[in-house]
């Protein structure tokens, strides 16, 4: 989303190194792809040896590196840019012994210091990067609004559909909504639709959950069938660095949303005119309020959010800024 979507919109030759092309870089997955990992490591070193004219490094070059490879790539390029959209500077390798061997925090710091320019996904990340690099620009995570089916009707489904989209790892944010979802189900019959992983991992909440496997086409279609989108996140350092992509996806589909006002979420919610739930706040009452409003009010919120997303967070709105940031229009 922060690399391929941009490349699709420019008429410039590019050589892309996507490591092994896997969904993630979990140690077990890499171990099962040992040949591809070896080839990727060799390819990255060949790229550095060729001394590219322009280099865009997103997040990290290699999950096995401790930063030296990222620094070498940056310094060998005539003009290098580091792009990041998560608080990698606070990722010290939690999650297992193998993850701790190559934490992202020192790698991100080394890359930010080595490159000519940094592209940060939001102001929180930019403020940190500016302590280590004098040339930092903000380009938010953007969405291809026209790819999303726009919500057509705002009468509630029967039963009402509350929705969440995300990967399996981020489902850990959902249990905070457990009591609210159960109470909403008791009062209205509402169910939670999860667009993402199909494995049932949320205990007794699964009785009121409908799971839809994620795909590119699914995410563009299914969100428009939701009545309310939700995005709970804890108010913690790593989460404050997130770029609010989930909210932008709901906005692109024209879906009213209730979310935690953490990091850039607060700014997006304010722009959308959508309700925020502070830590320990009333998720039940806030969601119920949206469900009980006239369809015309939900329609105004949803359509306004789509228009705002197109104007302020779409690829077409930010393309000139991105082109300049990576040195195309320097």
Cα dihedral sign, 58-63-67-69: negative
pLDDT tens column, 215-234: 999 999 999 999 999 999 99
Give long-range contacts, CB 8 A cutoff, 24+ apart: 40-49.
43/17, 44/17, 44/69, 44/73, 45/69, 47/15, 47/17, 47/73, 48/72, 48/73, 48/76, 49/76
Residue 32 — very low, low, confident or very high, per pLDDT cuts 50/70/90?
A: confident
Residue 103 — very low, low, confident or very high, per pLDDT cuts 50/70/90?
A: confident
Statement: residue 28 has pLDDT above 80:
no
What's the rounded Cα separation, in Å, for the pair 47 and 284?
53
Assess if CATH 3.40.50.2000 describes domain 145-312. yes
Residue 92 — very low, low, confident or very high, per pLDDT cuts 50/70/90?
A: confident
pLDDT score at 97 = 65
pLDDT score at 30 = 84
Contact, 55 vs 14, CB < 8 A?
no
The mean per-residue pLDDT over the stretch 174-186 comes to 97
pLDDT score at 262 = 96
For the chain, percent of residues with pLDDT exceeding 90 = 87
Q: Lowest mean pLDDT of 102-106, 125-129, 146-150, 194-198, name the range.
A: 102-106
Q: Phi and psi dihedrals of 91, rounded to 5?
A: -95, 100
Domain residues of the chain, as ranges? 4-142+315-325, 145-312
What's the rounded Cα separation, in Å, for the pair 58 and 17?
11
What's the rounded Cα separation, in Å, for the pair 50 and 57?
15
Residue 96 — very low, low, confident or very high, per pLDDT cuts 50/70/90?
A: low
pLDDT score at 234 = 95
Statement: residue 99 has pLDDT above 70:
no
Taking residue 28's Cβ as centre, other Cβ atoms within 10 Å add up to 9
DSSP 8-state class, residue 216: H
């Amino acid at each position: 989303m922060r690399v391929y979507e941009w490349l699709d919109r420019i008429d410039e030759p590019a050589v892309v190194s996507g490591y092994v092309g896997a969904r993630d870089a979990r140690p077990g997955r890499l171990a099962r792809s040992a040949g591809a990992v070896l080839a990727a490591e060799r390819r990255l070193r060949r790229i550095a040896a060729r001394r590219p004219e322009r280099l865009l490094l997103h997040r990290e070059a290699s999950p096995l590196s401790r930063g030296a490879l990222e620094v070498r790539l940056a310094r060998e390029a005539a003009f290098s840019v580091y792009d990041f959209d998560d608080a990698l500077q606070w990722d010290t390798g939690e999650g297992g012994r193998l993850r701790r061997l190559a934490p992202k925090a020192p790698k991100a710091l080394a890359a930010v210091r080595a490159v000519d320019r940094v592209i940060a996904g939001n102001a929180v990340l930019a403020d940190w990067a500016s302590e280590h690099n004098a040339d930092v620009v903000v380009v938010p995570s953007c969405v291809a609004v026209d790819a999303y089916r726009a919500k057509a009707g705002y009468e509630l489904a029967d039963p009402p559909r509350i929705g969440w989209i995300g990967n399996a790892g981020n489902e850990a944010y959902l249990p905070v909504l457990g009591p609210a979802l159960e109470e909403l189900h008791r009062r209205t019959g509402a169910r939670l639709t999860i667009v993402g992983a199909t494995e049932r991992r949320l205990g007794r909440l699964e009785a009121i959950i409908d799971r839809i496997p994620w795909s590119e086409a699914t995410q563009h279609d299914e969100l428009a069938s939701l009545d309310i989108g939700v995005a709970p996140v804890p108010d913690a350092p790593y989460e404050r660095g997130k770029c609010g992509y989930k909210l932008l996806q709901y906005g692109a589909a024209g879906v009213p949303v209730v979310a935690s006002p953490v990091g850039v979420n607060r700014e997006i919610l304010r722009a959308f005119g959508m309700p925020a739930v502070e830590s320990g706040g009333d998720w039940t009452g806030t969601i119920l309020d949206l469900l009980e409003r006239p369809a015309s009010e939900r329609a105004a919120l949803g359509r306004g959010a789509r228009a705002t997303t197109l104007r302020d967070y779409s690829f077409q709105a930010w393309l000139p800024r991105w082109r300049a940031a990576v040195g195309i229009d320097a």
